[in-house]
Structure 1
Amino acid sequence: MNPQSADAGDRTTGRYKQKREAILNAAARLFDENGIKGTMLSEVAQQVGLSTNSITYYFKKKEDLVFECLMHTTSTISAIAAESAAGATPEERVTRFVTGRWKKLAEAAEGQYPAMMSFRDVGELDASYTKTIFSAYGDMFRRVRGLLAQGPVTSDNRMSLTIRTHLLLTSTQWTRTWLSNFSVTDYGRLAAYMCDVLINGLLAPGKPWAPTALDEKVAAIKLPEPSNRNFIAAAISLLNEVGYNGASIDRISARLSVTKGSFYHHIPSKDDLFAECVSRTLAVVEGMQAAAIAGEGSGGDKLAALARSLVGFHFSPRGPLLRMTAWTELSNLEQFYGQVQPMRQLTQTVVDFLATGMMDGSVRPTHQAIAAWMVVGAINGSATLDKWVPGSEKTDAVELYLKPFFCGICSE
């Protein structure tokens, strides 16, 4: 498969490469913002001052452009991981990797390098594309996993290392949701703050990770069970995999093994179903936040109990929870803005727990805002853990995924 349409000779010119990189940069940002299905070639063309027909000189169709954006992202991360492998210890290698990612973010922000794209919608592509992408992604993932390993990867440590690799990748990818709060000149400092949290964790030295009585109270919140719970669970699962635009009624109905007619008998429209998915997730998040705030314990206890309870709920028979980025690609986001506002308050709750923990000595001193965004990012990343790490749903995800975040990603 050759997704490029320009002749080989044309591809050697500097002007061609410059315009092609500009297209990749604009497309990656739009695909991340609106989803693959929610982005049209005409929108990409408008961003770079070309007609839609002119875009096809560089990429025959949208799928070819998505493919190149994802391959560019994979090769970039692989190159950063290869350079980071020179570090003598996992801590040094992680520091190099995170710093390298931030350097590329800075270059992209300054127009010197095409932006990287998230992999959330990769399943929307035809198998002729995904076979190549997943192969490249697997190679990249193994390179990054090697940065965390103290020695060889074996059957005994493979799952633990693989889950921590997902944590590392999602933590660095999540930065795109809060980058707009800072200037490019801040990126070096932000990289250092992120490294501090990842390597040293959040809990103060000597503070135990084990669940407390507060965990039971937070996890035991009362929730009304909707009569169409199976529909909501199936929809949330699909939304987490392919996003709002990719979760068609046909696909949701197929996952439930029901006809479209049966679907509409229970749910009036896709927007109504999405609203119920949001409501279900918010009920859990708000309830657990309230229980953690009202409970007894240090700031660190409350933060850990909230995170453990949310991730634990997602993987329990009562789950799943909708990933927080599922609605960012909505064209009618304002319709749901009031509903999702409480989710944004989760970040502020985490900041409060961090501040309290730093005052009472249960949390290490670190950058509160960066740490809070990273906590929320880690919780959000757990929603796609089973997709990217098959078999993780059969493990103790809370222990293997959250403990490294709170105690240090390189800790065994």
Structure 2
Amino acid sequence: MTSPSDKDAAASKTTQKFHKKRERILDAAAELINQSGIKGMTFVEVAKLVGLNTTSVTYYFKRKEQLAAAVLERSLTTLEGLIKQASQEPDARSRVRQLIRLHCELRANIRLNKTSPLAALTDLRALDDPHRSQLLSRYYQLFNGVEAYFPKAKNKRDQFLLSARAHILLNTMLWLPAWSIPYSISDFPRVQQRLFELFEMGLLEENQQIWQPRLLTQNDAELDNRQDGIPDQFLRAATSLINELGYRGASVERISSELNVTKGSFYHHLPTKDDLVRECFRHSYHRITLIQRDASTIEGNYWHKLSSVLATLLDIQLSSEFPLLKPTAWQPLPRELRSDIQLRTDRYAQRFSSLLIDGISDGSLRSVDPLLTAQVIIYMLNAAYDLRQQLNGISPEQAVELYASVLTRGLFA
């Protein structure tokens, strides 16, 4: 006769086995989402990675959307834990330092297979409700948690600056898996130290604290000549929708609806959605390239040149009717699109590195790690788009200066 304790032991063993297999499925799904986005994550591929058949996967998750939501929820839970742990430190500097350390430690453990991989949150907005609303609410709470590291805002200006601090810091951390790829695990102590120094002291030498950038105008003719016959309104609509909803969420139906045209009219101009997405990236990167190029020709030291680039790009992201495509939008793209886009991203990061090196050489910028700082600039621009709705009572010029100050003067200035 089986005793109650034997039954409990058997039930516990079954529960552990269920949980272990479920975690393996989540691990595989997270890897696939990071490689190809939610669209590229299928039950067939998940089953193949785990060594199960598709039916076994559906025993744990009935629908693909349910599995994707579970993977993203697990990532959010981990990130919430890091933010909460760092919040226990006594002051803002200690909290920021601890958050950077915890993220680097987590990334090292993931590389060493000591902990489960995290899925990138890029495709979160493309989920259907109720998953989308529930997870987005938790995603926004991450920023609120980081805002709480700093003193409370007393007015609208302070609140915008507080939001900018949280967005730039957290975006840099969320995209650590992407920008840290060239660094080995043994480099991570140095990475976290240099990153904290950048956030603590900013870019500027003490004698270069004046913010007087020159907003650079763009040559529309140069841009229009490179659009391959794609109407400007298609690029605008697709860029905004991809920024808001991600690659998957910016469907042909949504783009057509935004333009008030039929799907037939869309396909009259473009063979596929991917052709439009590719052109949106190419167009955004060309705009950035022209601004970087024009800055090199203006008079002044390299701080003036760099600040002019930053001010112009931030002005576009925060208030322009035609923003730039967010750099992180490439993550869920199909593989055939990603390599070229990643190459373009690397090129414009390299140009920022060159500006930084020249500024260090002429003495207008502090001695910072130019490669690491260039990546922070990219994710700073990425985060700026998300603050477009928080400009209430703040002029575009003031918003740009406040936002840029997070990097130029540091998080605690």
Report the TM-score, using the length of structure 1 for normalisation. Answer: 0.86
1:219-298 matches, cutoff 5 A: 219-224=216-221, 226=224, 228-298=231-301
Q: In the alignment, what sits opposite 1:391? A: 390
2-side partners of 1:65 and 1:153: how far apart? 42
Which of 349, 352, 356 does residue 351 from structure 2 map onto? Answer: 349
| Displacement of 1:31 | 1.3
Question: Aligned partner of 2:183: which letter?
Answer: F
What are the superposed Cα offsets for residues 248-274 of structure 1, whole Å, 9 maximum, x if unpaired?
211111122222123233434323322
Q: In the alignment, what sits opposite 1:368? A: 370
2-side partners of 1:197 and 1:188: how far apart? 14
Q: Percent identity?
A: 30
Which of 52, 55, 67 does residue 53 from structure 1 map onto? Answer: 55
How many residue pairs align between the two structures?
395
Question: Aligned partner of 1:83: which letter?
Answer: Q
2-side partners of 1:309 and 1:47: how far apart? 45
Describe the shift of the 1:71–1:232 C-alpha distance in structure 2 as closer, same or farther (beyond 3 A): same
Alignment check: 8 A CA contact 1:278 1:340 kept? no
Describe the shift of the 1:383–1:150 C-alpha distance in structure 2 as closer, same or farther (beyond 3 A): closer
Q: In the alignment, what sits opposite 1:189? A: 190
Q: In the alignment, what sits opposite 1:131? A: 133
2-side partners of 1:286 and 1:138: how far apart? 32
Alignment check: 8 A CA contact 1:21 1:113 kept? no
Report the TM-score, using the length of structure 2 for normalisation. Answer: 0.86
| Displacement of 1:241 | 2.4
Which of 78, 82, 85 does residue 83 from structure 1 map onto? Answer: 85
Question: Aligned partner of 2:176: which letter?
Answer: T
Larger mean CA deviation between 377-386 and 277-286 belongs to 377-386
Q: In the alignment, what sits opposite 1:400? A: 402
Gaps of 5+ in 2: 1-10, 225-229
2-side partners of 1:360 and 1:241: how far apart? 40
| Displacement of 1:233 | 0.5
Q: In the alignment, what sits opposite 2:94? A: 92
2-side partners of 1:403 and 1:12: how far apart? 55
2-side partners of 1:272 and 1:280: how far apart? 12
| Displacement of 1:374 | 1.4
User: Rg: which structure is higher?
Assistant: 2
Larger mean CA deviation between 266-275 and 198-207 belongs to 266-275
Alignment check: 8 A CA contact 1:327 1:333 kept? no
Alignment check: 8 A CA contact 1:315 1:393 kept? no
Question: Aligned partner of 1:380: which letter?
Answer: N
2-side partners of 1:56 and 1:31: how far apart? 18
Describe the shift of the 1:382–1:155 C-alpha distance in structure 2 as closer, same or farther (beyond 3 A): closer
Runs of 4+ off more than 6 Å? none
